[in-house]
Each structure stands twice: as C-alpha cells, then as structure tokens.
C-alpha cells in the first residue's frame, strides 16, 4: 500500500528535460577524444536528428496540449505545457552553442587528418571558379527561387528542408526572397585535387544568391530550416468498418508534411527584420527561433564515410564489427530441433541474427510446421525475414502477420511490406484501436507424434536485420509449451481485438505487464522489511511510469537495493537521503544503442529474470501491447545477470545520475577500465570450442587504448 505521506514528487523529474539531458550525453560522445574523428561526427549528427524528432513529436504534443487541453499538467512535476515549453527552449540554447563548438573543433581536427570542410569564403579564386562551374552545371538548372510580395505569397516551407533566405533591395524597396536547396542536386561537392576538400550545397547557393536574384541587391542571406509538428493522431477515424487502413495511413503521413511550424533554425547571421518577418509568416514566438553556426542538417557526415580512402577509413572510423555465431547454436544441425532440446538466447549485435532467420527459413519448408505467427513493428526495407514469411506461405503454411502501421517515421515502409505480404497470401492484421502493438513475438506451430508443439521467439528488439547490427537486443528461442500456449492465446486474442486475455507465464501489456512488476517489487519490499537481502535490477530505454517510480521509492525506503541501467529518459532521481539512497541509476551511451530490456527481482538462485519489448514508460505499460518473457533456463538466467553486472560496473561509457539530476561520466581511478560494450564484443569473438581460462592478475593497471573504446580487463 502506498504511503500517502511520502512526498514522491521531490524524487521526480520532468520527462522532456530528462530527455534533453540524455541527448546532451549523446553530444558529449562527439567530444570523446578516444573516439575516431568521423565516429565523433556521427554522434554530432545523431544528436541533431534526435533533437529534430524531439521537437517534431514532444514539443509538438506540448503545443497541442497548450492550445487544446488547458487543464493539462505534468503528473510528475506539476508543470503546465507552457511552463515545460519555456524550460525546453531555455535548456536547448546552450546545447546549440555546444554543438557549434564541437563542430568547429571536429572540423579542424578532420582537416589535419586530410578531410577538410570549406566555406565559400575560404576558397582561392581558382577554387571559386570550380565551384561556380558546378553551380552552373548541376545546381542552377534545378533551382526554384521566389520573392515574397503582393503577387507572390509566402511559400510552404517543408518540414526540415533547407532554404536560403535573403533580404533583397530594389529601388529603395526591400523584399524577402527564398531559394529551396534542391534535393535533386548532390549535397556535397568535392574540389579537385588529391586532398579531400569539400563544400556543402547550401553554402554554394547562398554565395551565388546575387546571381539568382540578379535584379536585386542582396542585403543579407542565410540558411534556414523549419521544424513542423509531426505528432499526428494516427488513430483518428482508423477503425471505421468501411475504412481502407493502408490508404488511411498514407493520407495521415502526407498531413505530417504540412502541419504547424514549431521551430525556426537559421545558420549564420540574420537581421532582426528578417527574423521578425519569418516569425510573423510562420506564427512563431521569439523563443522558438534558434541560431546555429554549424550546418543545420548533419546527416551528410554518413556520406563522407563512402568518399574517403581506405587508409583514412582505418584512421577516422571504428573498425567494423561483424556479429559472431552464437555459441549456443550448432550451425550444422536443425535449429528447430536444437530449440526443442534447450532454450537459446541470442544477444545482438555481439551475436548474429542468423539463427532466428535460419529458424524461419527452416520452418518455411518443414513439413511438420503448420503455421507461423509474428508481430512486426519496424523491419528492414530489404527484409530477409519477410521473404522467409512469403516463402512459408508459398509452401502452404498458414502465416499470420500483425503489422503495426503506426510505428512513427516507419509508416511508409510498413505499409509497403503489409501490401507485399498480403499479396503473397499472408493473413495481415493491424494494430488495436488506441493501442500500438509494440511486441516482438513469433510463434511456430508444429505437428509431432505427441500432438501440437510450439516454438516461441520473444525479443526486446525489432525483426530488423539492419538495426540488429547496431542495437543491443536480446531474443529467447524456446520450446517451453506453457510459454507457447500463452503465445497462441496472445495471437488469438489480438485477432479478436481482445486486449484482456489471461496469461500465465508471459507479461502482456496492458493486461498484466505493470501489475507483474508491481507485484514482484512488493515481494522484494516484504523481504527487505523482514531483514532479508532484497534486490531489483532493471535495464531499459526510458523510465517515466509514475506508479512504478513510486514503487521503487517505496522499495528504496524499505531497504531494497535498486540498480537501474536507463539509457534515455529517467524521471526518477536517485540518492536522495531517506528516500532514494538505495537506488543507483546509470546511463550508457556508446558505439551501439542500448536497446535491450531486462527485469530481475531477487538475489542469487531465487532471482526471477525477464526480457521484454517494453520499457517502464506509461505508454508501454498502459497504451501499448507489449510482451515480457520469463527466463527459466538457469544458465541463460545467470548469463543475463552477469550481463547486468558488467553493465553496472562500466567505468568508461557509463554516466551515473546523482541527486541533483546531473549525470557524471565515470572514470577508472582505482580500477581498470571496463567498457561493457567492448567487453561483450571481446567475449563474442572468443572461439566457441576454446574453454575459458582463468584470468591472470594484470601486472599493472595501465592499459592500452585502441579504436573507439579501451581494451578491457575483467575486474578480479
């Protein structure tokens, strides 16, 4: 029972401000001296893309709340939407400054390494001529400039597109001009010569603006970009009986391009008059305008990877890591038969996704397989997994695909795959009314001499071959029949739009996911109050659920040791005396995106361990369909707990949160450097047939550093 006298709010943080702290941690990785330079540039681009999506979705939703839900307030801090927006705008400005400084520093260092970013003002006359020839040949023919006056209304500025905005003068009359940066022209122009020296398209167009507006005097010009609200209501009208779901989603996606502006960014210097003019046309306040000295779109940095020499790649990029074969799988034998004998855990990206793909390929042609059922949230554009599903239906198997078309920013890809799968003969069903199906579950049904047998796969990440090489995720393959029966009930319930079925082994949100966490947390609280050792360990992406926050505060106050690895948003503040002093929270931002979810309750052999598709966020626990699976195999359970131990001991990439809300990067002082991601890579690279040898005590604490992370030594 919750103690109503406890001031829980004193231990809580605002979700949006916590997210900005997370993105700052991403930006800080761009300043990590031990990371190769282009990899650091990647982090700078990821920070920028993250911030763009944050404004499109989170800021967009807050603006909607402010306009249409005047009674809305944050249930953790009590702030209104307007108060949150003011704090967001204020918190973003130093991040822009830090990004500018980081970009300039990286540009200088990359130039010394042989990859030079130039602006037109940096060029010699001969180089200006070369850029001019490129402009006339490839850019000028596809430009669509426009002035804004009584005959030429202000144009629609597409979401996140780049434009050159210019103040123009003619006969003492000042007008405004816009030049869209054409998507048809290449963004990067390399100057001739052996050195890798390049310009960006927007800078070239800006330089030649006087030629574009030849009848005008160009008083001022800069690059601008408008961010629009992308928080569209994908459920509106969705489940009308006569509605074509795919066509509805296509029309919804188009709306995103024209939704209300909510941020204006400009690169360089813009006059007060220019800012005022654009704010008036876009309906923005001054607080929604942000200046940047570095390019507004940094995604081009990933193109640079393909433009440099192999020698530069070795110097500027991290060595490519190839996911290794799982030691739990014998590639020479049937994967279906191996799963019948024992549970198998796959750990991406350290281990390959191939065993899962091979299992589906084998199931597609196995005469004993009756059906395959799977949920798809995000899949690759070129998906081997989807091709195996098509192969299965062509071989006469019953294939059911629950495709979630509302996976934000992946809607178009999912629509295309839904159509292909349906045309191939798969039974394609869609998400639930008001609930996104975020589960990652696959059920294979086979005939056997003893009757029907189930093989179930449940994971923490999407069925996406591309992200399986970039995100840390876990997948369990099991022939446990109780789990299989729950999985069969899950698909049966969703086919009947029943959100409230009964499950015995699986946690399924919104039915019993949160309830199970609360129940197991209560068990640990009772143990602690009885003077026994009690522990809760969780690894997930974000933590915002107020009920779960309050439960962990109760657990801490009872003496339960709570250890959390939360990569992103965390609305719980640890180490507050008398309340959360038994709670430790770390965030790991590194080479791979930490995406796996692990829930563990207890100590020693009594520890109950689960992997899950859902985070401890209200949207996951109450407004999505999620699945968590218990781990019954003792060896796999121990492996997951060992993983948690390594993650919690990371002192290279882990940042620990303190009672003032700050995240401080851990540094190895009296211990050897331990980077969890590098450790797991080294472990996966060990030959499967080679027995592990006892580790020797290192002669000194000094270690070499190489690549992106330090070479790891296991702590004694």
Q: Give SS3 for 336.
A: helix
d(CA 614, CA 628): 8
> Do residues 521 and 536 make contact, with C-beta atoms less than 8 angstroms apart?
yes
Q: Which residues of 375-413 are buried (b: 16+ CB within 10 A; e: fewer)?
A: bbbbbbeebebbbbbbbbbeeebebbbbbbbbbeebbeb
Going by C-alpha positions, the residue among 536, 542, 581 that lies closest to residue 563 is: 536
Q: Which residue has the tokens 């900005």?
A: 20
User: Which residue out of 42, 156, 388, 438 is catalytically annotated?
Assistant: 438
For residues 25, 27, 33, 38, the Cα torsion angle rounded to the nearest 10 degrees is 130
- HSE-up of residue 107 (Cα within 13 Å, Cβ side): 16
CB neighbour list of residue 543: distance below 8 Å, 6 or more residues apart: 549, 564, 566, 569, 570, 571, 572, 615, 616, 617
User: Residue 248 catalytic?
Assistant: no
The DSSP annotation for 466-492 comes to TGGGTEEEEEEEE--HHHHHHHHHHHH
Q: Give SS3 for 175.
A: strand
> Do residues 581 and 556 make contact, with C-beta atoms less than 8 angstroms apart?
yes
Q: Give SS3 for 668.
A: coil
Going by C-alpha positions, the residue among 544, 541, 562, 564 that lies closest to residue 553 is: 562
d(CA 372, CA 401): 8
Vertex 547: Cα angle to 546 and 551 (nearest 5): 115
CB neighbour list of residue 630: distance below 8 Å, 6 or more residues apart: 483, 505, 506, 608, 609, 610
Question: End-to-end distance of the chain based on CA atoms, in angstroms?
Answer: 42
Catalytic residue IDs: 438
């Amino acid at each position: 029972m919750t103690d109503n006298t406890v001031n829980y709010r004193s231990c809580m943080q605002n979700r949006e401000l916590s997210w900005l702290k997370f993105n700052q941690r991403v930006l800080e990785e761009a300043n990590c001296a031990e990371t190769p330079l282009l990899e650091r540039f990647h982090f700078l681009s990821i920070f920028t893309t993250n911030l763009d999506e944050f404004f499109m979705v989170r800021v967009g939703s807050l603006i909607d709340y402010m306009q249409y839900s005047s009674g809305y307030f944050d249930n953790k801090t009590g702030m209104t939407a307007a108060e949150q927006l003011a704090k967001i705008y204020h918190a973003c400005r130093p991040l822009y400054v830090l990004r500018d400084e980081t970009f300039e520093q990286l540009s200088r260092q990359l130039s010394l390494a042989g990859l030079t970013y130039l602006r037109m003002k940096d060029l010699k006359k001969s180089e200006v001529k070369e850029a001019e020839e490129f402009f006339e040949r490839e850019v000028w023919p596809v430009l669509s400039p426009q002035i804004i006056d009584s005959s030429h209304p202000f144009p629609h500025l597409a979401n996140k597109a780049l434009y050159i905005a210019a103040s123009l003068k003619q006969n003492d009359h000042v007008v405004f001009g816009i030049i869209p940066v054409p998507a048809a022209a290449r963004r990067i122009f390399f100057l001739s010569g052996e050195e890798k020296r390049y310009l960006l398209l927007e800078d070239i167009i800006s330089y030649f603006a006087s030629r574009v507006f030849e009848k005008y005097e160009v008083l001022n010009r800069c690059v601008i970009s408008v961010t629009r609200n992308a928080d569209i209501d994908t459920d509106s009208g969705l489940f009308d009986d006569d509605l074509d779901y795919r066509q509805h989603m296509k029309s919804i996606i188009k709306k995103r391009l024209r939704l209300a502006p909510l941020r204006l960014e400009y690169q360089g210097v813009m006059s007060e008059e220019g800012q005022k003019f654009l704010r008036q046309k876009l309906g923005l306040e001054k607080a929604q305008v942000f200046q940047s000295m570095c390019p507004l779109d940094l995604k081009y940095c990933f193109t640079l990877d393909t433009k440099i020499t192999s020698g530069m790649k070795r110097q500027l990029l991290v060595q490519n890591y190839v996911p290794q074969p799982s030691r739990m799988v014998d590639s020479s034998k049937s994967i279906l038969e191996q799963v019948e004998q024992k549970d198998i855990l796959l750990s991406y990206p350290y281990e390959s996704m191939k065993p899962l793909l091979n299992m589906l390929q084998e199931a597609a042609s196995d005469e004993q397989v009756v059906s395959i059922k799977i949920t798809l949230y995000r899949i690759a554009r070129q998906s081997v997994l989807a091709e195996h599903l098509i192969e299965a239906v062509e071989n006469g198997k019953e294939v059911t695909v629950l495709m979630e078309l509302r996976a934000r920013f992946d809607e178009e890809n999912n629509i295309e795959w839904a159509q292909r799968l349906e045309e191939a003969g798969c039974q394609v069903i869609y998400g639930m009314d008001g609930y996104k199906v975020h589960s990652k579950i696959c059920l294979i049904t086979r005939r056997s001499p003893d009757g029907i047998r189930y093989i179930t796969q449940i994971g923490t990440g999407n069925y996406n071959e591309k992200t399986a090489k970039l995100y840390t995720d876990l997948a369990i393959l099991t022939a446990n029949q109780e789990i299989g029966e729950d999985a069969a009930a899950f698909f049966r319930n969703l086919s009947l739009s029943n959100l409230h079925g009964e499950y015995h082994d699986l946690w399924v949100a919104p039915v019993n996911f949160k309830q199970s966490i609360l129940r197991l947390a209560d068990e640990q609280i009772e143990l602690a109050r009885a003077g026994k050792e009690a522990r809760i360990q969780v690894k997930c992406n974000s933590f915002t659920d107020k009920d779960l926050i309050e439960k962990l505060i109760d657990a801490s106050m009872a003496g339960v040791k709570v250890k959390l690895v939360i990569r992103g948003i965390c609305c719980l503040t640890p180490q507050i005396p008398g309340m959360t002093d038994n709670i430790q929270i770390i965030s790991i931002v590194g080479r791979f995106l930490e995406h796996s979810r692990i829930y563990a309750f207890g100590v020693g052999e009594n520890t109950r361990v689960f992997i899950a598709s859902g985070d401890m966020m209200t949207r996951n626990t109450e407004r999505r369909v999620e699945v968590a699976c218990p781990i019954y195999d003792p060896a796999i359970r121990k492996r997951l707990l060992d993983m948690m131990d390594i993650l919690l001991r990371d002192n290279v990439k882990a940042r620990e949160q303190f009672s003032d809300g700050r995240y401080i990067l851990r540094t190895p002082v009296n211990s050897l450097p331990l980077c969890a991601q590098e450790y797991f890579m080294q472990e996966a690279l060990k030959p499967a047939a080679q027995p592990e040898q006892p580790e020797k005590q290192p002669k000194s604490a000094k270690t070499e550093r190489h690549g992106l992370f330090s070479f790891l030594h296991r702590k004694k």
